[in-house]
Amino acid sequence: MKIKTIGLVAHDNRKKDLLEWIDFNREKLETHRLVCTGTTGRMIKGFFDHHVGSGKKNEVNIKLLKSGPLGGDQQLGAMIAEEKIDLLIFLWDPMQPQPHDVDVKALLRIAVLYNIPVANNRSTADFIISSPLFDSDYIPTRKDYSKYIHREL
């Protein structure tokens, strides 16, 4: 099994959904590295701290970034661009406008650009985590965008 680095983000109205999904998939997630934006990360860390067996130290690898509106989405996007994130679970709220919508769009764009799996709802997250590819050494193909970089003006 290849250890994955999983980006986890949830807007306020979706944090409960993400926590329920994490609870359902706790055993599988405990063996991977988790990278989370601010409030979501603190919530997930608290969950794992609370749900570790009696007397055991929480050894879940969780990296906390800044809150999304304070740059956490951009930090996560940079990690994707550096190929340090294997997949992204981002439960965003389609019914609530976000003050940092531009950052959200940029994060989703970079995830598509680098061809990493992205789940924006629990059903897709379930499909990703239950796929045989989740536990494999799967490496996504990358499109060559160099012609966009070296274009003469």
Tens digit of pLDDT per residue, the chain (153 long)?
789 999 999 988 899 999 999 999 999 999 999 999 999 999 999 999 888 654 555 578 999 999 988 899 999 999 999 999 999 999 988 777 766 678 889 999 999 999 999 999 999 999 999 999 999 998 888 888 888 776 555
Task: Output the CA angle 84-89-91, nearest 5 degrees.
Answer: 140
Q: How many other C-beta atoms can be found within 10 angstroms of the C-beta atom of residue 101? A: 10
CA 85, CA 131: separation in Å to the nearest integer? 18
Instruction: Enumerate residues 6+ apart whose C-beta is below 8 A from 59.
Output: 30
49 as an active site residue: the answer is no
pLDDT value for 150: 62
Q: Which two tokens stand for residue 6?
A: 């999983």
Residue-by-residue DSSP string for 84-118: --SEEEEE--TTS--TTHHHHHHHHHHHHHTT--E
SS3 for 50-95 is HHCCCCCCCCCEEEECCCHHHCHHHHHHHHHHCCCCCEEEEECCCC
| Calpha distance 32→27 (Å, rounded) | 10
Per-residue CA distances from 19 to 4, 26, 47, 67, 99 (Å): 19, 10, 8, 17, 23
Quick one: CATH architecture of 5-149?
A: 3-Layer(aba) Sandwich (3.40)
In the set 49, 73, 135, 144, the catalytic residue is 73
What does the pLDDT read at residue 95? 78
- What pLDDT sits at residue 69? 85
pLDDT tens digits for 6-27?
999 998 889 999 999 999 999 9
Quote the CA–CA distance of 62 and 45 in Å, as a whole number: 7
